[in-house]
Structure 1
Amino acid sequence: MKNFFLKRIQGYVRVYIDAPFPEHFLNRCLEEGIDVWKIKKVGDERLSFFMDLEDVHRIRPLIKKTEAKVHFSTRYGFPFFYKKMLKRSGFVLGIFLCLIMLFTGSNMVWGIEIKGASPQVETQLVKLVNDIGIKRGKFQFHLPSEEDIQTYVTEQLDGATWVGVKKKGTTYQFEVVEQTLPERAELLDPRHLVSKKKAIIHDIFVEHGQALVKPNDFVQKGDILISGYIGKEGKQELVPAVGVVRGEVWYRAEVEKSIESLFTTLTGEQKDKHYLQLFDWEIPIWGFGQPEFSDFETFEDVTPFRFLKWELPVSYKKQKLYETSPFERTYTDEEAIEKAIQFASDEMNKQFSDDTEIIEEKVLHETIENGKVILKIHYKVVEDIMKEQAIIQGD
C-alpha cells in the first residue's frame, strides 16, 4: 500500500461492490494493477474496500465486464476538502485575510515602554529610538537587533549610565539607569566597586560611575561592577563609584537533626515570689521557701522605682516559677526532614545582614542513620556583593 499521507493528498474513496461473485471483480482489479486495501465482506454478494481516487475511472470497463454494481460510500482527502472550501469561498477568504492581519500585526511595533528615566532623559530617548526607526506601525524586521539598539542609545543618551533593551511581543521595553552625582562625591577618592565573590548579577543601581555589568551577568571575584571612569572614550574622568549591586550567591550547608527530641511542657502549677531589689541585693518580701515541684522554669519581671524623672537604684522584682515536665517525641522521617530544613534556614539567616534574601533552597542529599536526619542543602541567596577598589592615578 502506498504511503498513507500521499493518499490523503491524492484522495481516496470507499467502494461497495454488489455482484454474484464479487471476488471476480477484485481479481480483475489486481490484474489491471489497481490498488485496493481493507477488503471486507459485508454480505454473500457484497464486498467493501478502499481505492485511490485516480483509479476510479479505470474500474468502469471492469464494471461492464463483470456486470457488478458499484456504490461509492465515503470520500477522503484533499481534493474533496478543496471542493467543499470552494463552496464556502467567502468564509475561507475571511479566515485567510484574518491570518494575514494577525501575522502583519504581530511583526509590527505597537508600543514603547520606558522605565527609570526622568522626563528629560525620556524625551531624549524617545527621539533617539525614533531616529533609528522604532515607531508605532514599523515592521520589526526592518529594525536593528536589540544589542545594536542598546549600544547606540547607551552611547548617545546623555545622563544615563546604562540602558537595557528588551523586545516583548510587539513592545520595545527600555530600562534606564541614570547617573546621579552625589553632593559629596568630591570628598571621596576615585574608586571602582568590584565583586567580592562569584555571583550572578540580580539587580544594580548606579548613583555615580559607569555600570559594566547588567542583571543575569556572571561575575568572578575582583571583577569591576561599577567603574570610576565616566564619559566617552578620550573624554573620561575619574569619580568615586557609588551604587548598589546585589547578586545571586550560592551556599551549601550540612545539618543534622535527631528524630527523637526532648521537650519540656508546663503542667500549670506555679509559685510566685516577690523581692525588693537594691543594687545587687535581693530581699524576699513574699513567697518564701522552695516550690513543692523539683522541675520548674523561672520568669522574672523587674520594675524599677522612680522619683520624679529620676530612676532609683531600688526595684520591685516578681518571680514566677512554673512546674515543667519532660516529654520525649519521636518525629516521622518527613517531620524530621522538615524540622532540619527549618533549622538550617534559621541558622543561615543569622549569618546574613537584614537586606539579604534567600530566594531558593534545595535539598541535595538526605540520609537517615543512627536516629538522625543528615541533610545537605543548597541555598541561592541575593546579597550585596560589592567592595571598594581604589583607583591609583597613572594605572
Structure 2
Amino acid sequence: MKNQMFYFISGYVRAEVKGKHTELFLDRCVQNNIPIWFVKRIDDETISCYFFLKDISQIRVLLRRTGCRLSFKQKIGLPFFLKKMYSRKGFILGLVCTLFMIFFLSNMIWSIHIHGASPEVEHEVKQKLHQIGVKKGAFIFSLPSEQEIQQTVTESNDNLTWIGVKRLGTRYSFEVVEKKIPEEKEALNPRHLVARKKAVIYKIFAEQGQAMVEDRDFVKKGDILISGIVGSDEQEKVMPAKGSVLGEVWYLSEVTVPLKSTIITNTGDTLNKYYIKLGKISIPIWGFEKDSFSKKEMITDMKPFYFLKWQLPISFQKDKIFEIEHSERVLSEKQAKELAFELTEKDLMRQLPRDAEIKGKKILHEKIGNGKVNVKIHYQVIEEIATEQPIIRGD
C-alpha cells in the first residue's frame, strides 16, 4: 500500500522502447540505477516497461546513446493529474469556489428558534442574543460557548428560571422556562388559616374570619390562626378565612470556618489563543505570544466545522488562559465569627420566603480547635406562617 502511494505521488509512465539495441538500453538503465519494472518484449525490436517520471531526462540520454526510440502509452500519477486539472483551471476554480461557499454558509447561523416564552420575554431574549452576537448571518465559531450564552441570557432577565441552549447545524434552539408568579385566587370554598410551623405570633390581621390567637401567643403546626367559622351556634356562618399572620420562627444554623485557608483569585489578565484542529493536531492561527503567567487556568472552547449537515474532522479551537493567584487568608476569631454569620445568613435567606426578615441572631455555642472555628447560631425570623385548611361540613 505504501509503495502504491509513493508511485502515485511520484508519477510513472508505461512506455514502449524500439530499436536494435533494446537489451543494451536495459543494461545501461541498470548500470545508472534507474528503476524499470514490468519489462515485457513485444517483438524483436520492441519492449514495454514502466519507469518514474523523474528519470525521463536520464532515459532520453541513454536512448540517444543506444539508438532507441521512446513512445509513451500511459501516464499515471499525481503530477499528470495536476497538469490535466491545470488545463481545466476555469472549471476547477469554479468547483473550488462553490465548495468554499457551501462550507462558508454551512458555518453561519441561519435560524434562531425560541420555545416556551411569552411574546414579551421572547423579544427580550432576542435582544440580549443580538447584543452578544447570536444573530442570523453570524459565524458560529466566533460566538461564545453554549454555556456562556445560557448564563448570560439567564442572568440578564429576571423573568427566566432556566433557558436551554442547543445548536443543530446552522440553527440555534432555545427552550425557555419562565418564572411563574402565582396569582392569588379568591377562595370559593370555606377554609381556616392554620399555622404551618411552630412560631410566636408577631402580628395578625384578620381580613375575613375570626382571629383565634393574639400577639405573642405560641402556636404549633396545625393550630387555627384565623377561623372561617364566625358567630354562635344559632347564627353560625362559614366563610373562607382571609388575612395575614406573621410569626417569629427560630432557626439553628451550624458552620465551620477555617482560620487559615488558600484563596484562588483571578488577576484579570487573560490571553486568547486560536487554533485549527485537524484530528489530534492543533495548528495555531492567532495568539502566538507566550504567556508569562506563573499560575494559570485555561478554558477550551471547541467548535466543529460543517459541510452542509455533515460534521467535518476540522474544528476551531479557542483557548482562554486566565492568570490566577494563590493567597493565604488568615482570620482572627472575630473575623471568623463574622464570616460564619455571613455564610449562614445567605444560606438561610435562600430557604426563606422573599418577604421574610431576620429580626435577631445570636451565637449559642462556639468551639475553636484544629485551626477551625465551629459555631452554632440562633436566628429569629419574622415570616408569614399561615396556610389554608379546608372546612369540611359535618366535622
Q: TM-score, normalised by structure 1?
A: 0.46
Q: TM-score, normalised by structure 2?
A: 0.46
